[in-house]
């Protein structure tokens, strides 16, 4: 697939993986619309890409609100014309665990990480099918969508769902010449650990777990792993290669394959159990 002259739309584009994707697309000659809920970070991100590529712009957007996603898509088309690559990448993390099951946390994380992806697909699919110039969806899941090792968590639930919906979407879009990639990174050095900064008021206040509780200890371990994680630009480079090669899965941490193997081994062993008691 040829990038130059085409247009990309990236949610969560003000920071981390989304920003790196935007920069990589611009560097490859694409026009780029960054969509994000964090206004100041978005302006700074757009400004920093001023001299990269044929045009980078930003639009404030809450991916948890379908009308906001539609407005952002219209802004992208009004500014740049047809959109070809859509990265449904915005995502947030909040504490899970069994000690304090917060419906606000579950609703927020699923609205952004799952429904946000759905709204992006629902909004852009008719547009891409309509213009007929080809297109590609990149949905950001996670290794947390491959193995439930983080425990009882809205984040894990959302990422498993994004993997499943992306597989189904790829199957159905193949005959239409529209590609789908599901991005499953391990730890990447971004601000995902500070997701609470962008939590809309409708989900109530952030409820950090007691640092001494199991959920609090897990959070500290995750923060350390994120700080030592992969550079987002490496993730972006893999995604561009996957779009070019029309690859469904992108994994960035081959050292985490054991986690996936363990899960499938347990599933296979359960399948091989004889029927009956």
Catalytic residue ranges: 155
Which of 37/128 has CB closer to ligand NAI? Answer: 37
**Cα–Cα distance, 201 to 68 (Å, whole number):** 16
- Look at the chain and count its residues: 277
Which of 6/38 has CB closer to ligand NAI? Answer: 38
Among 181, 185, 215, 242, binds ligand NAI (CB under 6 A): 185
Among 1, 107, 131, 191, binds ligand NAI (CB under 6 A): 191
**Cα–Cα distance, 273 to 271 (Å, whole number):** 5
Task: Compute the least distance from the CB of residue 25 to ligand NAI, in Å.
Answer: 15
Q: Do 100 and 210 contact (CB within 8 A), yes or no? A: no
Question: How far apart, in Å, are the Cα atoms of 51 and each of 27, 57, 132?
Answer: 10, 12, 30
Site membership for ligand NAI, residue 22 (CB under 6 A): no
Site membership for ligand NAI, residue 63 (CB under 6 A): yes
In DSSP terms, 10 is beta-bridged to 34, 87
Q: Give one DSSP letter per residue of 96-116, joined into a string.
A: --SSS--HHHHHHHHIIIIIH
Count of C-beta atoms within a 10 Å radius of residue 111:
21
Which of 131/189 has CB closer to ligand NAI? Answer: 189
**Cα–Cα distance, 160 to 2 (Å, whole number):** 30
Site membership for ligand NAI, residue 123 (CB under 6 A): no
What number of helices (H) and strands (E) belong to the chain?
9, 7
Site membership for ligand NAI, residue 188 (CB under 6 A): yes
Site membership for ligand NAI, residue 181 (CB under 6 A): no
| Dihedral sign, Cα of residue 82, residue 14, residue 39, residue 219 | positive
Task: Compute the least distance from the CB of residue 64 to ligand NAI, in Å.
Answer: 5
Give the side-chain half-sphere CA count within 13 A for 37: 19
Site membership for ligand NAI, residue 229 (CB under 6 A): yes
Q: How many residues bind ligand NAI (CB under 6 A)?
A: 33
Site membership for ligand NAI, residue 226 (CB under 6 A): yes
Which of 44/77 has CB closer to ligand NAI? Answer: 44
Residues near ligand NAI (CB under 6 A) = 11-12, 14-18, 36-38, 41, 61-64, 89-92, 112-113, 140, 142, 185, 187-188, 190-192, 195, 198, 226, 229
């Amino acid at each position: 697939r040829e990038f130059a002259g085409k247009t990309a739309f990236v949610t969560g584009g003000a920071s981390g993986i989304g920003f790196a994707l935007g920069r990589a697309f611009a560097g490859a000659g694409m026009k780029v619309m960054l969509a994000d809920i964090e206004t100041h970070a978005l302006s700074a991100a757009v400004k920093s890409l001023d001299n990269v590529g044929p045009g980078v712009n930003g639009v404030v957007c809450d991916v948890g609100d379908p009308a906001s996603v539609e407005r952002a898509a219209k802004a992208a088309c009004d500014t740049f014309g047809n959109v070809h690559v859509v990265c449904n990448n915005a995502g947030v993390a909040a504490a899970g665990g069994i000690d304090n099951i917060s419906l606000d946390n579950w609703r927020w994380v699923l609205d952004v990480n799952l429904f946000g992806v759905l709204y992006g697909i629902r909004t852009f699919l008719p547009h891409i099918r309509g213009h007929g110039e080809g297109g590609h969806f990149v949905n950001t899941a996670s290794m947390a969508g491959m193995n439930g090792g983080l425990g009882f968590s809205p984040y894990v639930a959302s990422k498993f769902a994004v993997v499943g919906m992306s597989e189904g979407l790829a199957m159905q879009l193949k005959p239409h010449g529209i590609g789908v990639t599901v991005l499953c990174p391990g730890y990447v050095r971004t601000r995902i650990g500070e997701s609470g900064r962008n939590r809309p008021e409708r989900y109530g206040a952030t409820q950090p777990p007691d640092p001494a509780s199991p959920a609090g200890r897990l959070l500290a371990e995750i923060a350390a792993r994120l700080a030592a994680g992969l550079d987002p630009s490496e993730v972006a480079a893999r995604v561009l290669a996957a779009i070019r090669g029309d690859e469904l899965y992108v994994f960035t941490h081959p050292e985490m394959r054991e986690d996936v193997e363990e899960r499938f081994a347990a599933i296979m062993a359960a399948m091989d159990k004889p029927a009956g008691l």
